[in-house]
Amino acid sequence: MVRAIVGANWGDEGKGKITDMLAKESDIIVRFQGGSNAGHTIINNYGKFALHLLPSGVFYSHTTSIIGNGVALNIPFLVQEVKEITDQGVPTPKILVSDRAQILMPYHILLDTYEEARLAGKSFGSTKSGIAPFYSDKYAKIGFQVSELFGDPKELMEKVENVCKLKNVLLEHLYHQPKLKPKEIFDTLMEYKELVAPYVCDTAAFLHDAIREGKTILLEGQLGSLKDPDHGIYPMVTSSSTLAAYGAIGAGVPPYEIRTITTVVKAYSSAVGAGAFVTEIFGEEADELRRRGGDGGEFGATTGRPRRMGWFDAVASRYGCRVQGATEVALTVLDVLGYLDALPICIGYEVDGKITKDFPTTPELSRAKPVYKTLPGWKCEIRGIKKYEELPENCRKYIEAIEAELGVPVTMISNGPGRDEIIMR
């Protein structure tokens, strides 16, 4: 059984928590896209962790964690992340890295940083983890695949020289920065070879066998639908697909094996980086939601920067579920909203005087204004509640209103950051 756990919004929906929770009953957890640019916050019996590259199932000794071929693999970062969790008492996890994963190089991070600086006020709000330069190189066919580390060193060196030639034009003439030296790049690759060697595996073949053996496999997405380069708010998106469908490619499993698409939807909105955000709120109203949000405020797990805040956006979330192919919804951080007298839900966008329920393309999105309906608050703490019927009536009404807008069953309600704070419906 393959199940994808993906986000319907702008990321930070709480996928890490849901993955950590579902991993208890799973055998294998796979990261299939993205890199160390976003973080998943997980709170469990070992403590609080911000994972960036490791799958969120890494805390159980019965699970295998896979870095799939679709990931931007920062090798020293991976090694460091393993050290950080084991230093905090987590048993050494079983990790496999795809031999077809590509390597995020130090110059990707430099180029990302220089480009953000060059764009200045018009930047994308990149986390400067090298993601856009990495994926650009992958598709320009000048990236380094893990397997190449174990191939002919002469051929590798030739490729390194070609890459340096290309990169140095940009470094010298556009960014006015020091040039890359082929020997140094080659030596870095050889260091990476040693670091990654214990983990390398044909993970697609491993997953193929696991499917045949009836193992339970989770594909863990990073960011959310609206950051997808094809279906999101281009160009304010990430550089690899955030959709469950890409899980088939970025992990190497047949698409028809992904039977369940658990789409994580946040009970309010938050976003990082630039881009249109129709239900965004500001001032004291936003500060209060940001302060109360998540497990200790809505601040980026990678950058620490304050997240942009907004009311629940049913137009964006329905679209987010649709492009994921959601078969069920996990609604998260609902407990945060107990302080509000009234809860606005955006049920339509007004674009050029017309009201629509369809999520528009980026140029129209920038002109969209929210159309709200407001529901009464429940004005109490809902943490600790285990049964749906025990939730306050107004809270159930909020969930049911969201469910009706999404058109997908809400099967899980997360009412706290902890592993066991979940209501199954």
Catalytic residue list = 12, 40
- Closest approach, Cβ 315 to ligand GDP, in A, equals 20
Q: Which amino acid is at 346?
A: C
Read off φ and ψ for residue 381, nearest 5 degrees: -80, 130
- Cα dihedral sign for 65, 4, 23, 308? positive
295 counts as binding ligand GDP under rule CB under 6 A: yes
272 counts as binding ligand GDP under rule CB under 6 A: no
13 counts as binding ligand GDP under rule CB under 6 A: yes
- Closest approach, Cβ 38 to ligand GDP, in A, equals 6
290 counts as binding ligand GDP under rule CB under 6 A: no
Contact 63, 29 (CB under 8 A): yes
- Residue spans of alpha helices (H) in 73-130: 75-87, 106-119
12 counts as binding ligand GDP under rule CB under 6 A: yes
Read off φ and ψ for residue 37, nearest 5 degrees: -80, -25
Q: Which amino acid is at 259?
A: R
* C-beta closer to ligand GDP: residue 13 or 137: 13
14 counts as binding ligand GDP under rule CB under 6 A: yes
- Closest approach, Cβ 159 to ligand GDP, in A, equals 34
- Closest approach, Cβ 376 to ligand GDP, in A, equals 21
- Closest approach, Cβ 205 to ligand GDP, in A, equals 29
294 counts as binding ligand GDP under rule CB under 6 A: yes
Q: Any idea which residue has 């990495």 for tokens?
A: 134
Contact positions with ligand GDP (CB under 6 A) in 330-349: 332-333, 335-336
Please name the residues in contact with 412: beta carbons below 8 A apart, sequence gap of 6 or more. Answer: 18, 262, 328, 329, 330, 331, 422, 423, 424, 425
What six digits make up the tokens of 26?
């799973």
Distance between CA atoms of 359 and 337, rounded to whole angstroms? 25
Distance between CA atoms of 171 and 114, rounded to whole angstroms? 9
Which listed range, 57-65, 163-171, 172-180, 410-418, lies at the site for ligand GDP (CB under 6 A)? 410-418
The number of residues that bind ligand GDP (CB under 6 A) is 24
* C-beta closer to ligand GDP: residue 107 or 398: 398
From 40, 52, 290, 308, residue interacting with ligand GDP (rule: CB under 6 A) = 40
* C-beta closer to ligand GDP: residue 31 or 159: 31
Which listed range, 36-44, 150-158, 211-219, 402-410, lies at the site for ligand GDP (CB under 6 A)? 36-44
Q: How many CA atoms does the CB half-sphere of 297 hold within 13 Å?
A: 9
- List Cα–Cα distances, 44 to 208, 209, 257, 265, 424, in angstroms: 30, 30, 30, 21, 19
Cα 129 versus chain centre, distance: 14
* C-beta closer to ligand GDP: residue 13 or 405: 13
DSSP 180: P
- Closest approach, Cβ 298 to ligand GDP, in A, equals 8
Which listed range, 40-48, 226-234, 309-317, 361-369, lies at the site for ligand GDP (CB under 6 A)? 40-48
CB neighbours of residue 232 within 10 Å: 25
From 70, 143, 344, 416, residue interacting with ligand GDP (rule: CB under 6 A) = 416
Cα 316 versus chain centre, distance: 17
Residues that bind ligand GDP (CB under 6 A): 7, 11-17, 38-41, 43, 294-295, 301, 332-333, 335-336, 414-417
